[in-house]
Amino acid sequence: MTRQRILVVDDEKDICDILQFNLENDGYIVDVAYSGEEALDKLDPQHSLIILDVMMSGISGFTVAETIRKSNNPIPIIFLTAKNSENDLLTGFSLGGDDYLPKPFSVKELLARVKAILKRSNTQVNNVRKWIIDDLVIDANFNRVTIHGEEISLTKKEFEILLLLAQSAPQMLTRSEILNRVWSDDEFVLDRTVDVHITRLRKKLGEYSSIIVNRSGFGYYLNLEAKRES
């Protein structure tokens, strides 16, 4: 199963260390930022959730959240804060926070909330639509594909084919099914068109070309567990 990546943001190193240790023990990949500014620099489509302290030197967690939401990024946010008044809680939720945990907090409770939020967000296909295969990210929220954080240039049809395969995985799609769902009825195309586009797509995916699997005589499917080629 693909490991999910979490960004922990707190200007207290001890808290970051504790959260990183426990989250990694639970199987997550964890990145750490010690300020709001660093968080905005580090946040990318590979992150599935952000754990965000509110009261930090420099820009606050609320400002970070507001900036994230203004960029139309739907990533789930859990606020951590020593401020636990009703007004602060309402502010957090009004800025698009998904949960709000006052300090001091139980690590077990936080882990349970992380699991619940990620499970919920993964089932909301129309909200968070992102597939992560190692350092390859297919992000339907922003219509882009990145490898090692760098966006690769795909044509509209190439992206639509890759997205269709991701949405259908691990189900195999025939050439005719891909043609019917990617090309409009008024476009005259041959089955061979699919093969040509996938050949170009594989070339652009480089070390991740093997995620698109072809079974001769049947069709194509996306192997979400594939490893990059060395």
Contacts of 109 (CB under 8 A, 6+ apart): 101
Query: Which ranges in the chain are annotated with CATH 3.40.50.2300?
Result: 5-123
Check pLDDT > 70 for residue 202: yes
CATH architecture of 5-123: 3-Layer(aba) Sandwich (3.40)
Read off the tokens for 86. Answer: 């009703």
Q: What is the pTM of this model?
A: 0.55
Pick the CATH number of 133-222 from 3.10.580.10, 1.10.260.40, 1.10.10.10, 2.60.40.10: 1.10.10.10
Query: Which tens digits make up the pLDDT trace of 58-93?
Result: 899 999 999 988 876 778 999 998 766 566 667 777
**DSSP-derived pairing of the beta strands 150-151 and 144-147:** antiparallel
Taking a C-beta distance cutoff of 8 angstroms, is the pair 5, 75 a contact? no
Check pLDDT > 60 for residue 186: no
